Every structure is written in structure tokens, then in C-alpha cells.
């Protein structure tokens, strides 16, 4: 569970960085979105591919309003809790 909290903290930090600094720097947004997608893929596996949708949007400030990394982290944390509940029920 601690690793999930650490991943969530990383996701929130990256989304804040994306919203505050990277979306205001012309020409950096697309590269940053690809790097964020790779980080999401490393952190959460195939589900992290959803983070690449931001690279498809050329209007950087628009996609910065959606905290994609945080949403992926929260969805994965919920999946982990359900797995734990199922394993406890089986015992």
C-alpha cells in the first residue's frame, strides 16, 4: 500500500508540474507529454498508455486541466484494494 501512496504522490507532483510550468512553455508540451506517458507506463503498466492521449492534443493548456496521471493512480489504487478484499474473502 505504501508503494501505491508513493506512486500517487509522484502522479500528483507530475500533474502539478504539467499544469503549472510545462503547459506555459511553448514547444515543450508535446515532448513532456510523451515523457509523462513513458513514466505512466513504467509506474502502472499497460494502463499507463492512457496518458499518451495528452500527446495527441496540440493545444497544451487544454490537456493540462485533466490530471491524467492522478486519475490513473487513483484508479489503480482502487483496483488494488479490490484484489486484497477478494483474497481475504477466499481465506
Vertex 49: Cα angle to 47 and 4 (nearest 5): 40
86 pLDDT above the threshold of 60: no
What's the pLDDT tens digit per position in 7-53?
Answer: 999 999 998 888 888 777 777 878 888 899 999 999 999 999 988 88
Q: Range of 69's domain? A: 2-90
pLDDT, greater one: 57 or 56: 56
pTM of the model: 0.73
83 pLDDT above the threshold of 70: no
Vertex 87: Cα angle to 79 and 68 (nearest 5): 10
Count of residues in the chain: 91
Provide the number of structural domains found in the chain. Answer: 1
The reported pLDDT for the residue numbered 4 is: 86
The reported pLDDT for the residue numbered 42 is: 93
1 pLDDT above the threshold of 60: no
The reported pLDDT for the residue numbered 30 is: 81
Amino acid at each position: 500500500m505504501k508503494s501505491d501512496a508513493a506512486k500517487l504522490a509522484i502522479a500528483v507532483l507530475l500533474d502539478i508540474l504539467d499544469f503549472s510550468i510545462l503547459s506555459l512553455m511553448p514547444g515543450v508540451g508535446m515532448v513532456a507529454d510523451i515523457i509523462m506517458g513513458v513514466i505512466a507506463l513504467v509506474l502502472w503498466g499497460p494502463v499507463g498508455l492512457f496518458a499518451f492521449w495528452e500527446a495527441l492534443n496540440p493545444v497544451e493548456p487544454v490537456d493540462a486541466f485533466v490530471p491524467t496521471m492522478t486519475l490513473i493512480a487513483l484508479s489503480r489504487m482502487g483496483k488494488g484494494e479490490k484484489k486484497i478484499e477478494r483474497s481475504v474473502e477466499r481465506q
